C-alpha cells in the first residue's frame, strides 16, 4: 500500500514538475487601445462582460490557482466559478490590467485579503509591484511543493488508514488496555 502511495506521490510531483519546464506564458504587449477594451459592466444583468476572446479565456486553470496561491483560491474557483470570473473581469476593468495579472491578484486576494490589501497600498506609495500572476511557478518551488504535498498526504493517509484498521485505535481512559494495580489504587472510587 505504501508503494502505491509513493508511486502516486512521485507521479504527482512529476506532473507538476513537467509543467514547470514548459515555455512561459507569452505576454502580448497590450497597447493602450487594448487596455481600453476592458470588460464592461452590464447594468441589466449586473455582470461584467468580456469584450473579446482574450479577456474571456483564463490565463491558467484551477490547478494554476492551487500552485500560485494555495488551496483557498482553488476551492473558491471550483465551487464559485462564476463569482470568481466576475471578480477577475472587474479587476481587469478597474485596474486596467491583462487577464494573467488580474487572475493572479484575485487568487492572492482570496488567499489572504488583508495581506493583498497591504501590498496594494504599499505599491501605491512606491513599493515594487508584486507579480502575483507568476508567483510560485519556478521549477524549484514546484518540486519542493510537490515533495511537501507527498509528505503531508502520506502521513494523513497513514493516520486515517491506521485509525480505520484499529492500529491507532481509540483509547478509553476509563478502561485502559493495560491494568496497573498501583494505578487503580488512586481511582478506587471508579467502577
Residues 123, 171 share a domain: no
Supply the pLDDT for residue 90: 92
- What is the residue range of 150's domain? 1-29+140-191
Query: Are the CB atoms for 108 and 69 separated by under 8 Å?
Result: yes
In a shared domain, residues 24 and 61: no
> What pTM did the predictor assign?
0.62
pLDDT digits (tens, 9 = 90+) for 73-107: 999 999 999 999 999 999 999 988 899 999 999 99
Average pLDDT in the 132-159 region? 91
Other Cβ atoms closer than 10 A to 37: 14
Q: Which residue has the cell 511537501?
A: 148
pLDDT number for residue 79: 95
Number of separate domains in the chain = 2
Other CB atoms within 10 A of residue 185 CB? 8
pLDDT the model gives residue 128: 93
Same domain membership, residue 61 and residue 151: no
Residue 113 and residue 179 in one domain: no
Distance CA 40, CA 49 (A): 5
pLDDT per position as a tens digit, 20-55: 444 444 444 444 444 556 888 888 888 888 888 888
Name the DSSP letter for residue 38.
Answer: -
Supply the pLDDT for residue 42. Answer: 84
Query: Which of the 8 DSSP states describes residue 186?
Result: G
Question: Does 176 lie in the same domain as 106?
Answer: no
Query: Both 74 and 156 in a single domain?
Result: no
Residue 14 has pLDDT above 90, yes or no: no
Amino acid at each position: 500500500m505504501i508503494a502505491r502511495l509513493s508511486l502516486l506521490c512521485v507521479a504527482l510531483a512529476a506532473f507538476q514538475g513537467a509543467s514547470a519546464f514548459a515555455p512561459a506564458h507569452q505576454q502580448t504587449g497590450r497597447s493602450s487601445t487594448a487596455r481600453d477594451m476592458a470588460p464592461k459592466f452590464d447594468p441589466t444583468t449586473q455582470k461584467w462582460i468580456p469584450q473579446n476572446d482574450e479577456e474571456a479565456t483564463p490565463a491558467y486553470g484551477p490547478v494554476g490557482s492551487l500552485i500560485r496561491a494555495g488551496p483557498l483560491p482553488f476551492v473558491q474557483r471550483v465551487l464559485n466559478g462564476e463569482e470568481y470570473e466576475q471578480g477577475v473581469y472587474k479587476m481587469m476593468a478597474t485596474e486596467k490590467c491583462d487577464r494573467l495579472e488580474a487572475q493572479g491578484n484575485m487568487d492572492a486576494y482570496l488567499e489572504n485579503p488583508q495581506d493583498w490589501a497591504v501590498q496594494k497600498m504599499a505599491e501605491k506609495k512606491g513599493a515594487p509591484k508584486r507579480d502575483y500572476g507568476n508567483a510560485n511557478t519556478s521549477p524549484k518551488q514546484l518540486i519542493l511543493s510537490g515533495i511537501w504535498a507527498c509528505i503531508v498526504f502520506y502521513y494523513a493517509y497513514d493516520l486515517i488508514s491506521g485509525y480505520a484498521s484499529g492500529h491507532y485505535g481509540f483509547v478509553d481512559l476509563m478502561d485502559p488496555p493495560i491494568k496497573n494495580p498501583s494505578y487503580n489504587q488512586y481511582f478506587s472510587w471508579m467502577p
